Amino acid sequence: MLKLFLPSEYVKNVYHITPAALKERGVKGIITDLDNTLIEWDRPSATPQLIQWFKEMQDAGIKVTIVSNNNEKRVRSFSDPLQIPFIYKARKPMGKAFRRALKAMQLKPEEVVVVGDQLLTDVLGGNRMGLHTILVVPVAQSDGFITRFNRKIERRIMSNLKRQGLIQWEE
C-alpha cells in the first residue's frame, strides 16, 4: 500500500526533466500538475523559463497535458495562452482524468510520465494507473488550504518511506 505513494523519480523542478532523457526512455507525453509543480499556486501565468521548457518539449515531439484539481478559470487562464491542453477539476488521485489525458494524447501508459508536487494526488494517481511518476519540489513555500492539510499527511508518508529505506533523497 505504501509503495503507491513512492514516486518513480524525484527531481528538484521540471527543468531537470529534459526532452532528451524522456525520449531515451521512450516517453512521448507528460501529464503534469499545474499549481506548485509548474508555477506557484498564486501566479497567474507562465514564466519565460517555463515557456521555454514547454517549447523544448514541443520541439522534441513530446506532448504535454495539464491535469489539475483546480477550477476551469484558473487552469484555462494559464493554459490557453500557451495552447496547452488541460483537464480541470481532475479529482486526482482518481483515474478518470489520467485516462482522459492518455486518450487525448493518443498514447499508451508506458509512453507517458506524470509530473507533480504531491504524493496524495499526482504520485498516487499516476502510480495507480501504472504510469512513471516524477515528484518535484513545490515551487512555492506556501499552499492553499487543502494542500496544507495534504502536506501534513505527506510528511508522515515520506518519513515512513525513509524509515523503510525506500527513498534515499533529501527533501
Percent of the chain that is helix, strand, coil (3-state, to 5): 45, 15, 40
Stretch 60-88: mean pLDDT, rounded?
97
Type of residue found at 112: V
The C-alpha atoms of residue 18 and residue 24 are separated, in whole angstroms, by 10
CATH of the domain at 100: 3.40.50.1000
Q: Is residue 170 part of a domain?
A: no
List of residues 6+ apart from 122 with CB closer than 8 A: 33, 37, 92, 93, 114, 115, 116, 133, 135
Read off the pLDDT of residues 36-69 as tens digits, 9 standing for 90 and up.
999 998 888 999 999 999 999 999 999 999 999 9
Q: Is residue 11 part of a domain?
A: yes
The count of structural domains within the chain is 1
Type of residue found at 162: K
Task: Give the pTM.
Answer: 0.90
Read off the pLDDT of residues 140-158 as tens digits, 9 standing for 90 and up.
776 666 677 777 888 888 8
